[in-house]
């Protein structure tokens, strides 16, 4: 289950990242211009939605398949994903013909057969792609079903190589649905029941479109790692993933006519919680207000026992103004589901109340649904339920529901109550 755990960590971190300032994780020397979405601001939706169906009022019966809004025939939105960052050297393998040209198309050439193109920074802020040297972004466009391979990951979209000081970035321009082929298997195990994968596809699609709202002035829309959603290209597609993505093509969740951040996580430990305990600035909306969950107990992640290094907690305590040796960690406030909301840390220099959500990220405890916590000499022993922040969709619960023949609309209704399934135009 190591791989699955890895995926769940990925899923958890994706959602952690959604409320973090992305620049904080970037290399300080060469920051990429990026403005994080302010989650307390609700801009006008960039995407027009049609064919809404309120999940609360549909599908009262179980069923392996559910009716869905009709998929649109319009072309996909193009998603701009940062696939390589601040690099000084890269080799792109192409399986056949590629067109290589500057952004203004003043310089261009083509390579008709399979091969490898090298990329490196050039003097005076230029970049070199194959034989082309310029200060402009350079595009590498695969023709037909040609794929581009970078670091063993295969991509089907066009690469945009952007000079950045004495390095360069590569941004893939890829249609939304193709992008989802390359996200889903890293956010949920591809062998899981189809209806769970379909719920995940709708959640990931909504999260993507919400993330890229009002980003037209930014150089890219999404990172390809935990800062957005993990993505490793769409050249290799699992059949199950293709079915899940194609079977929900264009479908998103909305609330009061707007997309929202469809947060999800590994395992809620028996109940999800209100988004405010994890991200104070997030809109307080019904779909993210929490719900019961009785479908996740089958998973190994439902309960955990864990030892973390005490030094990690002490390091976190110092960022909160508490120096010295940590003597105790007590839960000072819990939610109705039993998730610790606030903790009181006590050290030799004093005590302070902190958000468990912050403590979890700093120390790597699996969940704030803590049932036992003891501070030892060098370690802190923690026991509890769940994996991740506990907001929005519980992935293990989604899998549990799918195994009991609930369909994806029912799964989404369970974890984003009051939301509306719509098709993005
Ligand atoms: Zn759950």
Q: What is the 3-state secondary structure (H, E, C) of the chain?
A: CHHHHHHHHHHHHHHHHCCCCHHHHCCCCCCCCCCCCCCCCCCCCCCCEEEEEEHHHCCCCCCCCCCCCCCCCCCCCEEEEEEEEEECCEEEEECCCEEEEECCCCCEEEECCCEEEEEEEECCCEEEECCEEECCCEEEEECCCCCEEECCEEECCEEEEEEECCEEEEEEEEEHHHHHHCCHHHHCCCCCCHHHHHHHHHHHHHHHHHHHCCCCCCCCCEECCCCCCCCCCCCCCCHHHHHHHHCCCCEEEEECCEECCCCEECECCCECCCHHHCCCCCCCCHHHCCCECCCCCCCHHHEEEEEEEHHHHHHHHHHCCCCCCEEEEEEEEECCCCCEEEEEEEECCEEEEEEHHHHHHHHCCCCCEEEEEEECCCEEEEEEECECCCCCEEHHHHHHHHHCCCCHHHHHHHHCCCCEEEEEC
Confidence band, pLDDT 50/70/90 cuts, at residue 74: low
Supply the pLDDT for residue 280.
85
Average pLDDT over residues 74-89: 91
Distance 388 CA to ligand 1 centre (A): 10
Q: Is the pLDDT of residue 43 over 60?
A: no
Distance CA 174, CA 234 (A): 9
Distance 267 CA to ligand 1 centre (A): 5
Q: Where are the domains of the chain?
A: 1-71+179-296+389-425, 89-165, 301-385
Supply the pLDDT for residue 338.
95
**Could you report the per-residue pLDDT of 363-380, keeping only the tens digit for each?**
999 999 999 999 999 999
Q: Is the pLDDT of residue 41 over 50?
A: no
Q: Is the pLDDT of residue 151 over 80?
A: yes
Q: Is the pLDDT of residue 181 over 90?
A: yes
Average pLDDT over residues 150-162: 97
Supply the pLDDT for residue 278.
87
Q: Which residues surround ligand 1, an ion (CB under 5 A)?
A: 268, 293, 296, 394, 397
Confidence band, pLDDT 50/70/90 cuts, at residue 75: low
What percent of the chain is modeled with pLDDT above 90?
Answer: 77
Distance 57 CA to ligand 1 centre (A): 22
**Could you report the per-residue pLDDT of 157-173, keeping only the tens digit for each?**
999 999 998 999 999 99
Distance 44 CA to ligand 1 centre (A): 32
Confidence band, pLDDT 50/70/90 cuts, at residue 344: very high
Q: What is the mean pLDDT of the chain?
A: 86
Q: Is the pLDDT of residue 113 over 90?
A: yes
Q: Is the pLDDT of residue 15 over 50?
A: no
**Could you report the per-residue pLDDT of 189-223, keeping only the tens digit for each?**
999 999 999 999 999 999 999 988 878 788 999 99
Q: What count of other Cβ atoms lies within 10 Å of the Cβ of residue 403?
A: 14
More confident of the two residues 111 and 52: 111
Distance 272 CA to ligand 1 centre (A): 7
Distance 284 CA to ligand 1 centre (A): 20
Q: Is the pLDDT of residue 52 over 70?
A: no
Confidence band, pLDDT 50/70/90 cuts, at residue 32: very low
Q: Is the pLDDT of residue 339 over 50?
A: yes
Distance 385 CA to ligand 1 centre (A): 10
Distance 259 CA to ligand 1 centre (A): 23
Asked if residue 259 lies in contact with residue 44, where contact means CB atoms within 8 angstroms, the answer is: no
**What's the predicted TM-score (pTM) here?**
0.82
Distance 72 CA to ligand 1 centre (A): 32
**Could you report the per-residue pLDDT of 238-247, keeping only the tens digit for each?**
999 999 999 9
Distance 112 CA to ligand 1 centre (A): 51
Distance CA 326, CA 310 (A): 8
Distance CA 90, CA 97 (A): 19
Distance 299 CA to ligand 1 centre (A): 10
Average pLDDT over residues 51-77: 50
Q: Is the pLDDT of residue 314 over 60?
A: yes
Q: Is the pLDDT of residue 99 over 50?
A: yes
Supply the pLDDT for residue 48.
65
Average pLDDT over residues 9-20: 35
Distance CA 253, CA 54 (A): 10
């Amino acid at each position: 289950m190591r791989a699955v755990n890895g995926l769940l960590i990925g899923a958890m971190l994706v959602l952690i990242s959604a409320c973090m300032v992305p620049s904080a994780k970037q290399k300080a020397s060469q920051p990429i211009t990026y403005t994080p979405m302010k989650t307390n601001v609700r801009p006008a939706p960039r995407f027009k939605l049609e064919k809404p169906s309120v999940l609360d009022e549909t599908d009262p019966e179980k069923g392996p398949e559910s009716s869905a809004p009709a998929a649109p025939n319009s072309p996909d939105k193009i998603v701009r994903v940062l696939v390589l960052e601040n690099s000084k050297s890269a080799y792109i393998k192409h399986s056949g013909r590629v067109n290589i040209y500057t952004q203004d198309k003043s310089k261009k050439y083509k390579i008709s057969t399979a091969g490898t193109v090298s990329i490196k920074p050039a003097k005076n802020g230029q970049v070199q792609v194959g034989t082309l040297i310029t200060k402009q972004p350079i595009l590498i466009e695969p023709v037909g079903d040609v794929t581009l391979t970078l670091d063993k990951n295969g991509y089907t979209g066009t690469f945009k190589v952007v000079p950045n000081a004495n390095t360069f970035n590569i941004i893939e321009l890829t249609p939304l649905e193709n992008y989802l082929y390359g996200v889903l298997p890293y956010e949920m195990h591809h062998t899981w029941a189809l209806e769970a994968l379909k719920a995940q596809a709708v959640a990931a699609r909504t999260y993507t479109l919400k993330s890229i709202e009002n980003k037209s002035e930014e150089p890219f829309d999404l990172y390809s790692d935990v800062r957005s959603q993990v993505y490793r290209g769409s050249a290799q597609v699992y059949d199950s993933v293709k079915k899940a993505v194609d079977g929900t093509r264009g479908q998103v969740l909305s609330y009061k006519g707007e997309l929202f951040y469809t947060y999800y996580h590994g395992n809620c430990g028996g109940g999800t919680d209100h988004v405010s305990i994890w991200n104070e600035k997030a809109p307080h909306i019904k779909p993210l207000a929490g719900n019961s969950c009785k479908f996740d107990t089958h998973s190994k992640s439902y309960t955990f026992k864990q030892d973390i290094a005490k030094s990690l907690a002490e390091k976190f305590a110092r960022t909160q103004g508490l120096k010295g040796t940590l003597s105790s960690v007590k839960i000072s406030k819990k939610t109705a589901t039993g998730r610790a909301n606030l903790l009181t840390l006590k050290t030799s220099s004093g005590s302070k109340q902190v958000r468990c959500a912050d403590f979890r990220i700093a120390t790597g405890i699996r969940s704030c649904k803590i049932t036992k916590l003891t501070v030892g000499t060098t370690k802190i022993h923690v026991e509890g339920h769940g994996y991740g922040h506990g907001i929005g969709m519980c992935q293990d619960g989604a899998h549990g529901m799918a195994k009991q023949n609930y369909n994806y609309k029912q799964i989404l209704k369970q974890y984003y109550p009051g939301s509306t399934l719509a098709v993005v135009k």
